[in-house]
Structure 1
Amino acid sequence: MTNHSLLKLAWQQTLAANRLPIWRALLLALTVAISIATLLAVLGDRLEQSLGRQTAELLGADMTLRSGRPIDPAIAERARSLGLETSGVIQFPTMIEAGDNLLLISLRVVEAPYPLRGKIVTQPTLPHLPEPGTLWAEPSVLERLNLKVGDQIELGYTTFTVAAQLTSTPDRGNGFSTFSPQVIINRQDLTATKLLGVGSRARYRQLFAGEPQALKQLEARIRASMASDERLITLDNSNNNINSSALNNASRYLRLGALLTLLISALTIALSLRRYTLNSRDRAAVLLSLGMTARQLQILFLLQLLLAWVACALVGTGIALLLEQFALVLLSDLLPQPVPLAQPVFYGLGALLGLVSLITLGLPPMVAMSQVSVMYLFRRTAAPTTLGGRVLQLVAGVLLTGLLMLYLEDLQLTLILIGALLITAWVLGKFGAWLLRISAFALAGKHTLVRLLRLRIQQQQRWHRMQIPVISLLLALMAISLWARSDLMERWQNQLPDDAPNHFLINIQPHERDGVDQVLDNYQLNSSLYPMIRGRISALNGEPVATAFTPEQRQHNALNRELNLSWTSEMPGHNRLVAGRWSPQADGDTAYISVEQAFANTLGLKLGDTLSFTVGSFPVDGVITSVRAVQWESFQPNFYVIFTPGALDNMPMSYITSFHAEGEQRKVAAALLQRFPTITLIDIDQLLAQARSLIGKLSDTSGMVMLLTLLAGLILVFTTLSQELDQRRYENALLHTLGATPQQCRQLDLLEFALLGLVCGGLAAALGEIALWFIHQRLVLIEPVLHPSNWVLLPLTATALFTLTGLLARRRVDESNSYRLLRTLS
């Protein structure tokens, strides 16, 4: 037979197969797999590029070197020699004066070219940096000093003209200076202001932008000679984007959803191919009897799979591109426009993944079908499993393992996942079959059909040991997709409740504390003032930082800057104790401290360790007695380290607090600033609105992935149970000839399916709960929670779903076709 004839026959068989439910299930599962793989590949790449660009625009550069002292000019010279753009920035707090009004601001001193990424937007629009003798100020500065563009303002020993109002600007600095009212002046005016002298506290930044390769060379050079108080910020390690935590969690969820959908689709493809090849054995035997060789039969089946793949690849990729545009529309307000196109290879990744899955899963049944004997037409005996067939199954398993490893990018995790799935499947098969048998025995005396069901279950134990793991794993995967999204949404919503603080007050001096409390009480605002002192870690258990920590740990930002330290007798309500005990007071001269969980894990801190700090020129020690989980995104004052009261007495300090104000309460801002002009008030309503918008849009995007996952799962449920019903047709035909009515046969099938759904639903609930604990801890990084209601809802839902599938997929067996079915077995 020629290749042309084989292709023509493959086309004819493909068209004929489209009438079979099992083949349509295969095509639908393959289309869903290609759609979700393409969507996640393309969307993920475009989001990654957009977030990289957004981060660069927030930084004002591709890379930034930060320091508490002037940066060596040789670094800028080295950057220029590599073809990079560079610019220096100095930023420090200072007072600004307009008549009798004073305001504490963050002054940013810049030089051209600036910024290197992003742009400064002013009103009116000005093309360059402030001219000498002029400044640009944020609206809050002008509002609080009752100024407008063109007015005069005193800064240090110099009078400036307000040339423009700052609408938006990148490179706002780090820490609370990100929120402080800011003013920008030209570097040429700094000397005349006489604000920066010997011993002045200022932050220095050197910005760099250019080709990635040159940036990597410069990064390596800088890191080799970085001082302890310097920090290098790149696009990879920047945390300036307030949305980064939610976006990272969303990315993890989308990756999880894709993995679950691909696993479900792979199960559907494997089962559909197996069932299709079993149903095609008659056709294979006929073709072999007409002179077709086994190799030609394999090529025929392979061509049929390729034709199916081409159709599914076109449809699946088209669906993915439509869903991608929908997701980008949802996230358009959060991403810099235009969104960069994905790399071309990602547009074909889903189709390639589908092809590899289809061929890999199709090889074993394809070879088994080609080994069918012509005698199968007369004697229904399955072809024996040969050594070559087992080797082929092993090769298919290795290929699937490699495919999963490429997706997870972790060989160890892949092997653990596969091992866990195999062990889980074996345990589920044994335990599930036992539960099914015990349940049938318990109900045997209730009804005549139940006694018949018990006999059927005893005869079908091998079949149930194969089917229960598949169905339970399927239900668990669907439940995990739904529960993970629900937990993630709940975490995001709890993270930003309606009464989340929308104002911060910092730089509150001790003599102002009672007055600030009084003003807040007058406006019925609940808040807690936390004392704050800045200190630097100097030793661990008496050993200096240079030797107490590993080189990787010494890169942590907490070891390269001063930390905000606080003290309180009661643990803050928005913190959670995870280890040790909270110490409300010191024990004589021994001070106790509580440390944040991630901070402790990164630096290898343990309960009982003594952590030493330098506050100004004074040494302070504290023994770690507890570890706290801190929700940094809660917009509450949070600290890495909290001391017991008394340890930091008689040291210069200030207070910090946050509160939620709305309606008339918002007038508290003007009242506070009028009475206490030196404190800094930070209004973060705009940030909260942006964060809530992000949560809503990510919810819609993750919901789209969840729907695809559930669709793939429902397809597999229907496919698996349809195969189960096909197996039962022959038993029902025999029962019908022995006197059972069609209604009794139908009731027997539905009773078995209901019991099977109950058992599988219960096993899936337990399996899903265990898997979710691992996912919460390691993947989406949120606190694990139990889902007790789902232990009831999932078995009941599975029972209803299985019963409904049985009603829809079951084909009626009457007396005429009962004899015909039984004759096919003879």
Structure 2
Amino acid sequence: MWAKLALRLFSREFRRGELTVICAAISLAVLTVLTLSMVTDRIGQSIAQKSSAFIAADRVLASNHELPDEYLTKAGEYNLQTAQLTYFDTMLFANDEMQLSSVKAVSEQYPLKGELKVKSSLTGEVEVAKQGPTVGNVWFSESVFYALNVKVGDTVELGAAQFNIEKVLVEEPDAPFNIFSSSRRVLLNNQDVEKTEVIQPGSRVFYRQLYAGDESNLTDFYAWLKPQMKENQQWYGVKDRQSPIANSLNRAESFLLLAGLLGIILAAVAIAVSAKRYCERQYDPVAMMKTLGGSRAMIRKIYLLHLSLVCGLSVILGLAIGYGLQEIATNYLEKSMNNTLPAAGFKPWFVAISTGVICAVMFSIKPLLDLFDIPPLRVLRRSLGDKLLVSKVHLGMSAVTVFLLMWLFSNNLKITAILFVSTLVLIVLLFLLSRLIFGGGRKLGLRPGNSWSLAIASIQKRANANAVQLISFSLAIKLLLFLVVLKNDMIADWQSQLPSDAPNAFLVNITESELPDVNAFLEQKNIQVSDFYPTVRGRVNAVNGELVARDVSLQDNEKKDEEARAGIGRELNLTWLEQAPVQNEIIDGQWFGDNAAAEASVEESMLERLDVKLGDTLTFLIGAQSFDAKITSVRKVNWATLKPNFFIILSPDVLADFPATYISSVRIEADQKRDFSQLLRSYPTINAIDVESFVKQIRSTIAQVSLAIGFVLAIVVLCGGLVLVSQVQASLGERMQEIVILRTLGAKARLIKNATLYEFLLLGGAAGFVAALVSDVALLIVQREMFDLAGKLHPHIWLIGPLVGGVFVASLGYFMIARTMRKNTQGLLRSLA
């Protein structure tokens, strides 16, 4: 009996709209979480896989000592692909010429990720090689051909063996991005290393083992490997590398995570508002059922069934739409990225279903419990039960639920707290603002029959309801502004780091005598070039007279001096400049003055690493010569600009007498490559490092991330729209009553329409203004704490917020009310009944 009644009531309420909005809100929460989780999971996997080309694998095991083959054998048991690399420097001899070059010996499986590009001759077409050189053959980078004056097919002597020059090496996926490393690249088969007899005890050699496969298999393998690893071995992936690509990936993941959090907040607000409104609409039916003998248990069963039906229907609908949306989105992204996205796991499904159920139960349970307490006498006294309308318990439960959902979804307590607290601040400010508006409006000289007067009167009449609406509108606008501005700032920051005319090559090892001719040649050929920087290699030997710890030999089992002051452990590339580089920011102290004497400017991370401060004295050792310099400034360096940067810059008086070479970055266009090759032929001692492929990889990643961010933003906008719909829907019945009364009193249709429009315009404008202020403050904090961006205020959104808020809320609100106003008075009375 009760089930039949419950279904009939459910059908009627679904048609009236309250349950429809609840269902839509829960569905949107589910589809938001599912779509965002699946899309971000698949895009994240794709970007990570593509970015793995930077290390030619998914993971790398690195050591300065030979790695055991046991690791590779064990990796095979975990279905992982493997490859081996050996790095060393040696002399090459050919045609009475000799050249120091960097050799990379690779196994046949190299590369596991990315592409190896070669040419059959210096003037040939670029092609992709399936694997590295075969036994007995070597590949040279273009600069080696010029230095040795050889061509493809010639013979070269490497150590104790001779090799045939088979290919021109154009691009390696894992070429080291270090502008001070040699550009004389040689690729050799790993099986040929032994016959070169180059590696002897004490030789400077670097070893790498590459691994690729499923993430779960890599995790399982690392769990086995970790206890076996020695102190001098390092396991890393692309995100562990301090590079622009790693920063881009981390920022993208943070943004997508943040967008998911905000989507959940918006959907949760819509559910809470709609559930509360639905329960309020049921006060009279519940009182009637109790009057006719309905028991509390029966009423509880009816409405719990309603909740279960809404929850089940909404979750299924949300999952279906969410899966369809992510398929549409990923298909579009696959075409845009020209890449197949990996399949998502089961976690997004679990998180989405859990979110839907938690939202449905936690935001509805308190209004439902209040509903069961409605007294039967409400049939005669309509005010009975109104004290249940505002429930501190319901507000508290909703707030805790939102916080827990955000925390569980993000697994980041810090960012959750920032967003949650900023939202609470917004709510407090809006309550104060609403009191000012609703209280101040009564003192205005309002004229009867005026649309503005009617709008303000309507706002005053629904003071409490409008305060809630104002908060909801502001919350939606705040989160939308937050995401849009953050997205623009992130992409602008990426683009400023890597503009369209970013350098794509470096010139290294230019002597002072060559500098004028090289500079003149570049100007003549219109090749864009940055400043030339003098460089000298030196070591920080002491701090304030205290010697730093010296290097020890692990090979000879030397022990570190644990009490000695921490140092760098290697030589640094030092330079001297009169003016600070444009890509550097002085964050403490002062740059060198005109009379600077023995001063140093230190990059901020190096300051921490050396554990020094302004005013400390560093002792440098260059060759056998030692000198002191006082730290007078600290710099923040933008390492992603692809321009020469330095950890330590000295005042010109310190290094002026030391012999130096110069470096610079250049931008080589396609039609300038022949001219650039002519420069390298004319000056064979100059090294050129091509970073074109590196630039392309970063731009590709940024493009993919931007697409993903745009899609996520669209979903969050839908969430914001639903919050506005739920709020307008909540006041629809009361507005219909007002329209009937006003028409009965002879009000014209134009007056009523304008008053409604102005009311929403005022609410939206006020909500937009406060939302803009609060979101800007929250942005300032999040940019610094979560995205490592230079936080800044955005005064333009203080104007955009009220404008967009007013127009958006007024348009949406008026659109929803317009259908009601088109009905005649008789039709409105029927709807109310």
TM-score interval for Structure 1 and Structure 2 normalised by the shorter chain: 0.7 to 0.9
Match of 2:815 among 791, 808, 815: 808
1:646 and 2:653 equivalent? yes
The share of aligned pairs that are identical, in percent, is: 27
Give 1:709 shift: 0.9
1:428 is matched with: 430
> Hey, what's the Cα distance between the residues in 2 that align with 1:131 and 1:696?
37
Could you tell me which of 337, 341, 348 is aligned with 2:350? 348
- Deviation (angstroms), 1:783: 2.5
Deviations 1:7-41 (A, max 9, x none): x5554444433323443333333222222211232
Residues 143-162 of structure 1 aligned to structure 2 (within 5 Å): 150-156=153-159, 158-162=161-165
Residue in structure 1 matched with residue 537 of structure 2 by the alignment: 534
Q: CA deviation at 1:152?
A: 2.3
- State which drifts further: 697-706 or 604-613: 604-613
Distance 1:281 1:594, change over 3 A: same
Counterparts of 1:243-258 in structure 2 under 5 Å?
243-258=245-260
What is the RMSD of the two structures over their aligned residues, measured on CA atoms? 4.2
Contact 2:179 2:644 in 1 (8 A): no
Which residue of 2 is the match for residue 134 of structure 1? 137
In structure 1, the residue matched to 2:12 is 16
The gaps in structure 1 that reach 5 residues or longer are none
Deviation of residue 428 (structure 1)?
Answer: 2.0
Tell me: CA distance 1:797–1:242, structure 2 relative to 1, closer, same or farther (3 Å). closer
Deviation at 1:499, TM superposition (A): 1.7
Counterpart for residue 581 of structure 2: 572
Give the letter aligned to residue 296 of structure 2.
A
Alignment partners' CA distance in 1, 2:530 and 2:739: 72
Question: 2:596, 2:651 within 8 Å by CA — same for their partners in 1?
Answer: no
CA contact (8 A) 1:583 1:644 kept: yes
Residue identity opposite 1:595 in structure 2: E
* Aligned mate of 1:215, from 200, 216, 222: 222
The CA distance in 2 between the partners of 1:544 and 1:28, in whole Å, is 69
CA contact (8 A) 1:106 1:177 kept: no
Deviation at 1:177, TM superposition (A): 8.0
Q: For 2:667 and 2:442, how far apart are their aligned partners in 1?
A: 59
Matches within 5 A, 1:116-265: 130=133, 132-138=135-141, 150-156=153-159, 158-164=161-167, 169=172, 171-173=174-176, 175-176=178-179, 180=183, 182-187=185-190, 189-190=192-193, 193=196, 202-207=204-209, 209=211, 212-216=219-223, 218-219=225-226, 222=229, 225-226=231-232, 232-235=234-237, 238-239=240-241, 243-265=245-267
Residue of structure 1 in register with 2:784 after alignment? 777
- Match 1:34 to one of 18, 30, 44: 30
Contact 1:765 1:794 in 2 (8 A): yes
Partner Cα separation in structure 2 for residue 56 and residue 233 of structure 1: 14
Aligned to 1:759, which of 745, 766, 771? 766
Would the aligned equivalents of 1:87 and 1:208 in 2 still touch at CA under 8 Å? Answer: yes
Conservation of the 8 A alpha-carbon contact between 2:644 and 2:664: yes
Structure 1 residues 273 and 440, CA gap change in structure 2 (3 angstroms): same
* Structure 1 position 363, deviation (Å): 0.8
**Distance in structure 2 (CA, Å) of the matches to 1:239 and 1:688:** 16
Q: Structure 1 residue 393: deviation in Å?
A: 5.9
Contact between 1:430 and 1:465, CA under 8 Å: does it hold in 2? no
What code does the residue aligned with 2:713 have? Answer: M
Instruction: Please tell me whether the aligned partners of residues 432 and 760 of structure 1 are also in contact (alpha carbons under 8 angstroms).
Output: no
Instruction: Indicate the residue corresponding to 1:273 in structure 2.
Output: 275
Q: Distance in 2 between matches of 1:665 and 1:129?
A: 29
Is 2:590 aligned against 1:581? yes
- Give the TM-score normalised by structure 2: 0.84
Cα displacement (A) at 1:167: 6.9
The count of corresponding residues between Structure 1 and Structure 2 is 802
Between 1:352-361 and 1:508-517, the stretch displaced more is: 508-517
Q: Which moved more, 1:447-456 or 1:740-749?
A: 447-456
Q: Is the 8 A contact 2:739 2:821 kept in 1?
A: no
Query: Which whole-Å CA distance do the structure 2 matches of 1:586 and 1:448 have between them?
Result: 74
Q: Is the 8 A contact 1:501 1:659 kept in 2?
A: yes
Q: Aligned partners of 1:701, 1:413: CA distance in 2, in Å?
A: 21
Contact 1:437–1:457 (CA under 8 A) maintained in structure 2:
no
Q: Does 1:76 align with 2:76?
A: no
Which residue does the alignment assign to 1:315?
Answer: 317
* 1:768 aligned onto 2:768: no
Check whether the contact 1:730–1:821 (CA below 8 A) recurs between aligned residues.
Answer: no
Determine helix, strand or coil for the equivalent of 1:18.
helix
Query: What CA distance in whole angstroms lies between the structure 2 residues aligned with 1:664 and 1:117?
Result: 30
3-state DSSP of counterpart to 2:162: strand
Cα shift readout 1:518-548 (whole Å, capped 9, x = no counterpart): 221222334211122334455555556669x
Residue 799 (structure 1) aligns with: 806
Structure 2 unmatched runs, 5+: 121-127, 212-216, 551-559
Name the structure 1 match of 2:493.
491
Amino acid corresponding to residue 696 of structure 1 in structure 2? A
Cα offsets for 1:92-128 (capped at 9, x unmatched): 4555455477766431134688667778677899988
Q: How many Å apart are 1:639 and its aligned residue?
A: 2.2
SS at match of 2:664: strand
Structure 1 letter corresponding to 2:812: T
Report if aligned partners of 1:507, 1:656 keep a CA contact under 8 Å in 2: yes
Q: Give the letter aligned to residue 603 of structure 2.
A: V
1:38·1:346 contact (CA, 8 Å) conserved in 2?
yes
Q: For 1:665-709, what per-residue CA distance to the aligned partner results, in whole angstroms no more than 9, with x for missing partners?
A: 433311211111122212333333343333333222211111111
Residue 593 (structure 1) aligned with residue 601 (structure 2):
yes
Distance 1:533 1:430 in 2: 63
1:726, distance to aligned residue in structure 2 (A): 3.8
Return the letter of the residue paired with 1:784: G
8 A Cα contact 1:122 1:165, kept in partner: yes
Task: Specify the alignment match of 2:104 in structure 1.
Answer: 108
Question: Is the 8 Å Cα contact of residues 535 and 661 (structure 2) preserved in structure 1?
Answer: yes
1:597-638 superposed Cα distances (whole Å, 9 cap, x missing partner): x55467765433445555455555443333333322222112
3-state SS of paired residue (1:33): helix
Partner Cα separation in structure 2 for residue 195 and residue 604 of structure 1: 39
* 1:570 Cα deviation from its structure 2 partner: 0.8
| Structure 1 Cα separation of the partners of residues 147 and 327 of structure 2 | 44
CA distance in 2, matches of 1:103, 1:27: 73
Q: Which amino acid aligns with 1:274?
A: K
Q: Specify which of 515, 526, 529 is matched with residue 513 of structure 1.
A: 515
Q: TM-score, normalised to structure 1's length?
A: 0.84
Q: Structure 1 residue 188: deviation in Å?
A: 5.7
